[in-house]
């Protein structure tokens, strides 16, 4: 509602003008009331917080996980080289399947090595890595029961399983902090709406759609009109 309409209504309505004056007076008195002293509970709150792990211990864990992931990546790379280097002539179906398997293993090795060097990228690799590991583990167990795969071939997949566990651990240790208490549990639509919502102090509306701070402005206008 435009401020001009409010001013015109207050000028011709003594009841509303009296209400606006009373609201402004209540607001003024509330602002002038001294704040009651409150106890300082900072020390008590800080004492209840869990102790943060030492920086040296955290770095030690990170270094161990990254070194282990480097070793897994090197092992995965060693698995991929024979499949890519062998059978380069004659692109028969089994040969191409071997090359395709080698390419997958090489991609996994690259994923492990890159995450070991840049652990902040671990979370981005998890969707592909965990889904691939889950599906491959499921079909491998089925093939083992059916006798369609050799045990030594199945054991080679333990590199993938170990790498997925290490990448998951690094992703948890390098996850971004939450923006506030309970923020992560809120629906994403609510969080998005909260970011887009303007300042509530300037857009809050009353029953008739008037800005929340209009009594103060309207009263000042009425007072200025009476003074004039």
How crowded is the C-beta side of 183, counted as CA atoms within 13 Å?
Answer: 11
Do the domain assignments include residue 69? yes
Query: Is the pLDDT at 203 greater than 50, yes or no?
Result: no
Distance of CA 106 to the CA centre of its chain: 30
User: Does the pLDDT of residue 44 top 50, yes or no?
Assistant: yes
**How many Å apart are CA 126 and CA 223, to the nearest integer?**
65
Whose tokens are 């929340």? That residue is: 212
pLDDT at residue 198, as a whole number: 53
- Of all residues in the chain, the percent with pLDDT exceeding 70 is 70
Report pLDDT digits (tens) over 46-60: 888 876 666 666 678
| Backbone dihedral angles phi then psi of residue 109, each to the nearest 5 degrees | -60, -45
Phi and psi torsions of 193, nearest 5°: -65, -35
Residue 54 confidence (pLDDT): 63
- Specify the higher pLDDT residue, 82 or 112: 112
- Each residue of 2-19: pLDDT tens digit? 888 888 888 889 899 899
pLDDT above 90 coverage of the chain, percent:
19
Q: Look at residue 93 and give its three-state secondary structure.
A: helix
pLDDT of the residue at 208: 43
With 0-12 / 13-18 / 19 or more C-beta atoms within 10 angstroms meaning exposed / middle / buried, residue 218 is buried
* Span 20-37, pLDDT tens digits: 889 998 888 888 888 788
CA distance 82 to 33: 82
Looking at mean pLDDT, say which of 96-105, 123-132, 187-196, 203-212 comes out highest: 123-132
Look at residue 6 and tell me if it is in a domain: no
Please state the domain count of the chain. Answer: 1
- Provide the pLDDT for residue 216: 47
* CA distance readout (Å), 154 to 127, 158, 159, 172, 180: 23, 8, 10, 28, 45
Query: Is the confidence at residue 186, as pLDDT, over 80?
Result: no
Q: 13 versus 101: which is more confidently predicted? A: 13
Question: What is the predicted pLDDT for the residue at 5?
Answer: 87
- The verdict on residue 169 lying in a domain is yes
What sections of the chain are H helices per DSSP? 3-12, 14-32, 42-48, 55-85, 93-117, 122-146, 151-155, 158-173, 188-196, 200-203, 214-227
Asked if residue 21 belongs to a domain, the reply is no
Residue 156 lies in a domain: yes
CB 106 within 8 A of CB 80: yes
Is the confidence at residue 166, as pLDDT, over 90?
yes
**Domain limits for position 132:** 60-173
In a domain, residue 189? The reply is: no
This prediction has a pTM of 0.50
DSSP 185: T
How deeply is 160 buried, as exposed, middle or buried, from its count of CB atoms within 10 A (0-12, 13-18, 19+)?
Answer: buried
* DSSP annotation string for 142-155: HHHHHT-S-HHHHH
Q: Are 108 and 164 in contact (CB under 8 A)?
A: no
- Asked if residue 178 belongs to a domain, the reply is no
Is 132 a domain residue?
yes
Q: Which of helix, strand or coil describes residue 205?
A: strand
pLDDT digits (tens, 9 = 90+) for 102-118: 888 899 999 999 999 99
């Amino acid at each position: 509602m435009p401020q001009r309409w409010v001013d015109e209504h207050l000028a011709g309505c003594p009841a509303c003008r009296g209400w606006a004056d009373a609201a402004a007076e209540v607001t003024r008195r509330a602002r002038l009331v001294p704040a009651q002293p409150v106890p300082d509970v900072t020390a008590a709150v800080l004492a209840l917080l869990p102790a943060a792990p030492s920086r040296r211990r955290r770095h030690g864990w990170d270094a161990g996980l990254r070194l282990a992931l480097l070793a897994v990546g090197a092992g995965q790379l060693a698995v991929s080289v024979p499949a890519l280097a062998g059978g380069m002539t004659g692109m028969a179906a089994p040969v191409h399947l071997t090359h395709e398997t080698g390419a997958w293993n090489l991609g996994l090795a690259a994923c492990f090595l890159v995450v070991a060097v840049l652990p902040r990228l671990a979370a981005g690799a998890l969707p592909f890595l965990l889904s691939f590991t889950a599906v491959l583990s499921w079909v491998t167990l089925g093939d083992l029961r059916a006798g369609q795969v050799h045990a030594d071939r199945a054991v080679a997949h333990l590199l993938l399983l170990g790498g997925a566990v290490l990448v998951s651990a690094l992703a948890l240790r390098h996850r971004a902090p939450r923006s506030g208490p309970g923020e992560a549990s809120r629906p994403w639509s609510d969080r998005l709406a909260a970011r887009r919502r303007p300042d509530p102090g300037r857009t809050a509306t009353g029953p008739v759609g008037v800005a929340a701070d209009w009594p103060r402005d309207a009263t000042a206008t009425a007072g200025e009109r009476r003074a004039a």
